[in-house]
Amino acid sequence: MDDCIFCKIVRGEIPSAKVYEDQDILAFNDINPVAPVHVLIVPKKHVSDIMTLSEHEQRAQIMESVIRAVPAVAKAAGVAETGFRLINNCGEEGGQTVMHLHFHLIGGRKLGEKLI
Ligand code: AMP
Ligand code: ZN
């Protein structure tokens, strides 16, 4: 996707603070963190949101790549032992602002009961 900001980050056209990378995933620090640790886990393949992903022929591989990356990102961010929260926002009322599937890994302090 030419004008997708996360595709541009994946292609290296926009800088990011990389936390973890493998062939399917790029994880980088959120530019506007809500906690001491706030990393975005982004599948390199452009899929707009989790509803679209559910219809995607590669949905299993894409989700598997996210699940595989989570412990590596948590370790790299220093929260593997202390714990963290994984959040996906979908659509307008879900608070999604970047239409490229991503998961927020948030931690580094004791979080509130439900959100942040
Ligand atoms: P969401 O609201 O779930 O779509 O999350 C999008 C997230 O992307 C927000 O938390 C933004 O702070 C973050 N974000 C937007 N642009 C950038 C960027 N260039 N680098 C890092 N994070 C970004
Ligand atoms: Zn994209």
pLDDT digits (tens, 9 = 90+) for 48-89: 999 999 999 999 999 999 999 999 999 999 999 999 999 999
Question: Is residue 17 very low, low, confident or very high in pLDDT (cuts 50, 70, 90)?
Answer: very high
Residue-range domains of the chain with CATH: 5-107 (3.30.428.10)
Ligand closest to 34 (CA) is 1
Q: How much distance in Å is there from the Cα of 50 to the middle of ligand 1?
A: 16
Beta pairing partners, 87: 104
Whole-model pTM? 0.98
Question: Is residue 2 very low, low, confident or very high in pLDDT (cuts 50, 70, 90)?
Answer: confident
* Average per-residue pLDDT for the chain: 97
Question: Is residue 38 very low, low, confident or very high in pLDDT (cuts 50, 70, 90)?
Answer: very high
CA distance 42 to 115: 20
Give the residue-averaged pLDDT of 103-111: 97
Atom of ligand 1 at shortest range from CA of 97: 4
